[in-house]
């Protein structure tokens, strides 16, 4: 029998504890071993129950979630999923929690997302957290690569998905380049690590990070404070220009559009792809179609397969493609699938990703 993932729910709301417990009870591979009304009770139950994953509220009596999380990561690190309200303060607290080492963030039940919506994603987040390398979040924990050379992708594809060929405009070389990045679990810190090492004149950048609505705005603002580039949540019709990174808004797909030599983005609804909206595949497929060999594609840490087929489409259209290596991923799911398809031109550790991106962009500039 497969061992179940043991979960401890820490929340001062009896309603939230009940909802999360009942939804997780539907998963055959997950067991809620206990609940706690505050961090002091949680501390004792962590010792007694030895959970694999914790869901953690940010606003609790006696000790707030951020203070508890900092202590937990210092003395007894565990995979933590933050449960936060869809307020400006809640989003900011969630971003800080991810910086402290939380694996993922989810919305509180009833804060604009129904219980049905919650049940579709909660179990997956638990599974990703249980599989995560949460103690390797920092670049300092990543083993260096000899001579700083990117590792070639050696995996051969097990199958080849049907990919629509790029339109002719995407095949024409232009002086305007596009950098496209996709990530999921663990991606907030991975994206931060990459973007903070890119210069202010980096070509126009488009990013999908799996994250709920409203949280993406807080994430973009946090990145903007740290990066040489301007980083903001994308708006419908925004131009993709050098020195600007556009982050897909939560609960909306983002696609790249080209008119002449100008690139812009469209923000759309539409069904989730790989259970995700925004979807990395939706973005990458549009980049393959409209930017083609003018693009560089990067897939970072995350659970599932979103982005793998899209990265292959980019590679087939002439783009240079990169995937994060297993040792530096929080969850080696999305990059693994991309490598398996043969979509990754290079497999690179996180602490070498920014230089590898700049090398690829420089190579594209030389052939323009």
**224 CB contacts (<8 Å, ≥6 apart)?**
230, 231, 232
The residues facing 106 across adjacent strands are 83
Neighbouring CB atoms inside 10 A of 88's CB total 12
3-class secondary-structure state, position 274: coil
* Annotation says 290 is catalytic: no
Nearest-angstrom CA–CA distance, 69 and 99: 11
Tokens of 32: 């809620």
Q: Which of 210, 252, 274, 290 is catalytic?
A: 210
Give me 205's structure tokens. 């950048």
User: Which of these, 94, 92, 89, lies nearest to 106 by C-alpha position?
Assistant: 94
Question: How far apart are alpha carbons 33 and 364 in whole angstroms?
Answer: 53
Q: Which residues pair with 268 in a beta bridge?
A: 253
Please, are residues 217 and 91 in contact by the beta-carbon 8 Å criterion?
Answer: yes
Active site residue 201: no
Q: Which residues pair with 182 in a beta bridge?
A: 208, 299
Rounded to whole angstroms, what are the CA distances from 265 to 43, 218, 257, 307?
46, 20, 6, 18
| DSSP string of 291-359, one letter each residue | TGGGEEEEE-SBSSSTTHHHHHHHHHTT-EEEEE-GGG-SSBSHHHHHHHTT--SEEE-GGGHHHHHHH
Burial status of residue 152 (CB atoms within 10 A of its CB: 0-12, 13-18, 19 or more)? exposed
Catalytic one among 184, 264, 279, 317? 184
Distance CA 142, CA 250 (A): 29
Tell me whether residue 76 is one of the annotated catalytic residues. no
Q: Which of 104, 290, 306, 317 is an active site residue?
A: 306
Least Cα distance to 177 among 201, 153, 194 occurs for 201
Which residues belong to the active site? 184, 210, 306
């Amino acid at each position: 029998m497969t061992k179940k993932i043991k979960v401890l729910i820490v929340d001062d709301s009896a309603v939230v504890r009940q909802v999360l417990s009942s939804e997780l009870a539907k998963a055959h591979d997950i067991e809620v071993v206990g609940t706690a009304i505050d961090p002091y009770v949680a501390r004792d139950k962590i010792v007694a129950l030895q959970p694999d994953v914790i869901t953690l509220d940010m606003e609790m009596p006696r000790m707030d979630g951020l203070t508890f999380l900092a202590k937990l990561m210092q003395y007894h690190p565990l995979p933590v999923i933050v449960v936060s309200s869809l307020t400006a303060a809640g989003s900011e607290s969630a971003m800080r929690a991810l910086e402290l080492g939380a694996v993922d963030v989810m919305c509180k039940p009833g804060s604009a997302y129904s219980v049905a919506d919650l049940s579709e994603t909660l179990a997956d987040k638990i599974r990703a957290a249980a599989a995560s390398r949460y103690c390797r979040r920092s670049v300092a924990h990543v083993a260096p690569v000899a001579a700083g050379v990117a590792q070639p992708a050696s995996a051969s594809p097990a199958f080849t998905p049907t990919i629509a060929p790029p339109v002719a405009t995407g095949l024409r070389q232009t002086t305007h380049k596009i950098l496209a990045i996709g990530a999921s679990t663990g991606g907030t810190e991975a994206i931060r690590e990459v973007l903070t090492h890119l210069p202010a004149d980096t070509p126009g950048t488009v990013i999908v990070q799996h994250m709920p609505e409203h949280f993406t705005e807080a994430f973009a603002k946090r990145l903007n404070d740290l990066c040489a580039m301007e980083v903001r949540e994308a708006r419908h019709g925004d131009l993709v220009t050098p020195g600007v990174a556009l982050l897909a808004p939560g609960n909306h797909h983002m696609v790249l559009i080209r008119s002449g030599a100008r690139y812009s983005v469209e923000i759309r609804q539409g069904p989730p792809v790989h259970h995700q909206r925004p979807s990395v595949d939706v973005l990458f497929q549009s980049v393959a179609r409209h930017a083609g060999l003018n693009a560089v594609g990067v897939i970072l840490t995350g659970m599932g397969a979103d982005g793998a087929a899209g990265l292959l489409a980019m590679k087939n259209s002439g783009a240079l493609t990169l995937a994060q290596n297993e040792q530096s991923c929080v969850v080696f799911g999305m990059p693994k699938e991309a490598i398996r398809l043969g979509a990754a031109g290079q497999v690179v550790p996180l602490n070498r990703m920014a230089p590898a991106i700049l090398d690829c962009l420089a190579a594209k500039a030389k052939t323009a």
